[in-house]
Amino acid sequence: MSAVLPSYVAGRWFAPDDGVPLLDASTGEEIVRVSSSGLDFAAMVDYARQIGGPAIRALTFHERAARLKALAKALSERAVKDAFYDLSFRTGATQRDSMVDIDGGIGTLFAYASKGTRELPDGKVVLDGPVEPLGKGGSFVGQHVFVSRPGVAVQINAFNFPVWGMLEKLAPAFLAGLPSIVKPASQTAYLTEAVVRQIIDFGLLPAGSLQLVSGSAGNLLDHLGPQDSVAFTGSAHTADILRQHPSVLHGGVRLGVEADSLNCSVLGTDVSVDDPEFELFVKGVVTEMTVKAGQKCTAIRRAIVPAAIADDVVAAISDRLAKVTVGKPDADGVRMGALASLAQRDEVRKAVEALRTSADIVFGDPDRVDVVGADAESGAFISPVLLRAHEGAREVHDVEPFGPVSTVISYETLDEAIDLAARGKGSLAGSVITHDPEVARTIVLGLTPWHGRILVLDRDDAGESTGHGSPLPMLVHGGPGRAGGGEELGGIRGVLHHMQRTAIQGSPDMVTAIGGRWTTGAQRREDGIHPFRKSLAELKIGDTISSDAREVTREDIATFADFTGDTFYAHTDPEAAAANPLFGGIVAHGYLVVSLAAGLFVEPHPGPVLANFGVDNLRFLTPVKAGDSIAVTLSVKQITPRLSADYGEVRWDAVVSNADGDPVATYDVLTLVAKTWPQDA
């Protein structure tokens, strides 16, 4: 008997005495056994809540991002990755399939590390949108904030992506401040276990950040409550069971679902057999059928094509499929490996049988396949199968064969194509292959209510396109209706899904203290030291410089016009400027006002301010006429140290006002400021 795959529970590895055998997908050899019998699920949840969560939330977003980056680097080490690849072959995956899973997963960690650093503050609160004024006097305002929850993120994954499936859920949850309990699908859990073991051994994540359930989920969900969430990927059937779990129905547990999806690819009416788009379409369908042997939640199940060229499409796809070598995933020349298990092959055969009531097989035989390097019957091998739908076919929009199977469906008009796509009742990913912008717009707008992501592919973006089926960390992954209604990834959106959004109402000082960003109306501090003389360590939110006033003369405006070449009539032609309904005479250039403001607030000597790297939200509110005088108030709005540099970012609130006190221009000035000054101090 082989060993039993352990789980990682409350800081230690635990394995029961026996379990269900897990077999090599291509040889049928037993690899390991799996069972979660005897696992203390209550202790896992408790450990995550009491130990993992507080330790993660003691870190700022940037510190969490740095841990993710270090982890991604460690997992990228050749020897570490090679071990994962060796195991991945046993799941039936080829080298290319494994890259999508293993490198794709590590890439997602890198992407979240980078986004966490660049797009989140170095704090623990995310501000959502601008301050909302709630009172006329400015003393009562509102601000939406996102904060971490003191809960646990449970992930229940499908068998097809044992590495990516875990890491794409772990990264956003960790950034959001949540510990994860990972429950991979049993079939391929040995690969997930190997990655979890490495992560634990690296010791880069705080204790309690990550636990593993090998085997069934047992009564894990019974222990969850209103601060916890479950992210599920798998069948619609299991999703329904989870939706009806008392913890979800009555206990306030948040459930996100990614389930079955009958994704489509639509070929535009503008495309003829000789266009590059025809080849792109055919190649896309074949790739989606054969990568991971079609066991991808985003794979193209329905190829929707103009009736006039449907025969050509079928012939071209069949030609390409005929060149696909099926076999042991690590054997030379093999393009497509095995399905994850013999049971999965039975499922696919059953699904093809169901499809045959409304479609004919035009390529492949689900019961026969030539296999290289392995025995066709002991391994879970199956031929790619292409079907062609009968007119008005229904099953092709309802039955999801989770394998290398796709159906060609023909249409006459774009409206019909959209209607056919919608019969999938909601999908994760769709694609439209066309070189005609009008066709693209019509189909895409028709498809969007039914899709989480849509690729528009043509000769112009094909070179760089990541293809129909690749979820990307910066774009949302999920879909409406049948696809489950969940949403993951999408950059920082995926982090915020794990956090609580709360509307805070209070005075500007209170909102500043809570959100960590200076708010208009909050106290400004002027202590006689110019804030440009203060290092990052010395600067405080609210530190302010109020400048002297300066007159803007007609000569200033003329000089600026001459010097820059900006001789727009409002600055140079008195008559035309007088006729302008907004100005009624010569006005200063907005950029002159901003430039003069810099001259008013700057402290010119060498000091801790190293650079100005831009302005945000610049608005010109009141025209400045010749003879008006202006002054500027500059206050520290937000301070963001950079972890790996000896400087940080300071965002300043700038308000330029005229002699009447009216705001002339408002904007944020962005600077880099040394952490200490003098720098060797």
- Name the closest residue to ligand NDP (Cβ): 234
Provide long-range contacts, Cβ within 8 A and 24+ apart, for 237-242: 238/156, 239/484, 242/156
Name the residue nearer to ligand NDP (CB basis): 105 or 234: 234
In this structure, what DSSP letter does residue 308 have?
Answer: G
Secondary structure percentages of the chain, helix, strand, coil, to 5: 35, 25, 40
The set of residues, in sequence order, having a beta carbon less than 8 Å from that of 531 and lying 6+ positions away, is 539, 543, 544, 545, 634, 636
Name the residue nearer to ligand NDP (CB basis): 355 or 654: 355
Buried b (16+ CB within 10 A) or exposed e, 177-206: bbbbbbbbbbbbbbbbbbbbebbbeeebbb
* Cα distances (angstroms) measured from residue 194 to each of 137, 163, 200: 60, 9, 10
| SS3 call for 395 | helix
Q: How far is the CB of 239 from ligand NDP (least distance, A)?
A: 7
In this structure, what DSSP letter does residue 497 have?
Answer: T
Name the residue nearer to ligand NDP (CB basis): 50 or 216: 216
Name the residue nearer to ligand NDP (CB basis): 177 or 426: 426
Q: How far is the CB of 632 from ligand NDP (least distance, A)?
A: 54
Name the residue nearer to ligand NDP (CB basis): 478 or 590: 478
Burial class, 219, CB count within 10 angstroms (exposed 0-12 / middle 13-18 / buried 19+): exposed
Task: Kindly compute the dihedral angle of the four CA atoms of residues 350, 356, 362, 364, in this order, to the nearest 10 degrees.
Answer: 10
Q: Which residues bind ligand NDP (CB under 6 A)?
A: 156-160, 183, 185-187, 216-217, 233-235, 238, 241, 258-261, 297, 347, 400, 402
The set of residues, in sequence order, having a beta carbon less than 8 Å from that of 46 and lying 6+ positions away, is 10
Helix and strand numbers, DSSP H then E, in the chain: 21, 27
Q: Which amino acid makes up residue 444?
A: V
Q: How far is the CB of 19 from ligand NDP (least distance, A)?
A: 11
DSSP H helices in 129-188: 164-175
> What are the tokens at 119?
């797009």
The residues facing 361 across adjacent strands are 387
Name the residue nearer to ligand NDP (CB basis): 153 or 673: 153
Euclidean distance between CA atoms 664 and 649, whole angstroms: 26
Query: By the 8 A CB rule, do 483 and 427 touch?
Result: yes
Task: Kindly compute the dihedral angle of the four CA atoms of residues 454, 457, 461, 466, in this order, to the nearest 10 degrees.
Answer: 60
The CA-based angle 213-214-217, given to 5 degrees, is 55
Closest among 28, 31, 26 to 1, alpha carbons compared = 31
Name the residue nearer to ligand NDP (CB basis): 52 or 294: 294
Q: How far is the CB of 86 from ligand NDP (least distance, A)?
A: 22
Euclidean distance between CA atoms 274 and 462, whole angstroms: 16
| Residue found by looking up tokens 């095995």 in the block | 338
User: Strand 405-411 to strand 451-457: parallel, antiparallel, or no bridges (unpaired)?
Assistant: unpaired
> What are the tokens at 46?
């408790």
Closest among 519, 493, 284 to 406, alpha carbons compared = 284
Name the residue nearer to ligand NDP (CB basis): 180 or 186: 186
Name the residue nearer to ligand NDP (CB basis): 271 or 291: 291
The catalytic residues are 258, 297
Name the residue nearer to ligand NDP (CB basis): 215 or 648: 215
The residues facing 233 across adjacent strands are 258
> What are the tokens at 26?
């291509």
In this structure, what DSSP letter does residue 2 have?
Answer: P
